[in-house]
Amino acid sequence: MNSIDTPKSATPTPLVLVDNLQRSFNMGPQTVHVLNGITMTIQRGEMVAIIGASGAGKSTLLHILGTLDRPTKGEVLFEGRNMFKVSETALASFRNRRIGFVFQFHHLLPEFTALENVSLPALIEKTPKHTAIESAKSLLSEVGLSHRFDHKPGELSGGEQQRVAVARALIRQPDLVLADEPTGNLDTHTGDELFDLLRKLNETHGTAFIIVTHNEKLSHQTDRLIHLQDGQILEDRSLKNSSGS
């Protein structure tokens, strides 16, 4: 099998199913077990917060869900298909088209404008330039940066840079956006504004968001809270009836 694209359907198959996920790293003579049997599902359109102390395995889990790392054991199924039983080329293409990423450090290309940074993933997938540019303009406008199209990252504030990164994550209309401490480098007010934006985009686009955060207040504004401890799920709780309380 060289493709993990699957047709959209009305079946109840989860967007992502994680089964007994384990990840270990060899550190000299020792083996460090970072993930110890994670099992969970992510549904389409869900907004999920992952919390836990440093070293709990949050970022490692996110990297595996984004196919940036491979599990030692266990499976990750995307719409019922195993994400790691394909060629590296197919996996890279899948990642670019179906998954968006937002990191604590935005990783924008400093020599490119906001418009160029956002349109780049679409251009890599050979989207016609006019279409990519128009989509990038629309997304930048949606995140409140219609006046910043031609500004480079160094000319933007930290919050504006993260908004560009969010727009870039959505340019390919992904099914899933993974955000690793997206507000961690921002002041409280700017972080709150960014989180409100993520919630709005989640509702507007129907895109699933998985957000790793240390901010307990913001984590409780999602649909669901997953608490990791020592590489295992300590708690997996729905917040749909208490969100925003």
pLDDT at 50: 93
pLDDT at 11: 52
Asked whether the beta carbons of 95 and 169 are under 8 A apart, the reply is: no
pLDDT at 241: 64
Write the CA distances from 69 to 72, 83, 87, 186, integer angstroms.
10, 11, 14, 27
For 83, phi and psi rounded to 5 degrees? Answer: -70, -15
pLDDT at 227: 93
pLDDT at 229: 92
In CATH, which of 3.40.50.300, 3.40.50.2000, 2.30.40.10, 3.30.565.10 is domain 44-56+96-238? 3.40.50.300
pLDDT at 28: 81
pLDDT in tens, 169-197: 999 889 999 998 888 777 888 888 888 88
Write the CA distances from 201 to 150, 205, 208, 228, integer angstroms.
23, 6, 10, 26
pLDDT in tens, 35-77: 999 999 999 999 999 998 888 889 899 999 999 889 999 999 9
Asked whether the beta carbons of 79 and 6 are under 8 A apart, the reply is: yes
For 47, phi and psi rounded to 5 degrees? Answer: -115, 110
Listed as ranges, residues in the chain with pLDDT below 50 are 1-3, 6-7, 9, 243-245
Pick from 196, 206, 231, 237: nearest CA to 25: 231
* Alpha-carbon torsion angle 209, 48, 2, 85, nearest 10: 150
Domain limits, the chain: 44-56+96-238
Pick from 137, 176, 145: nearest CA to 162: 145
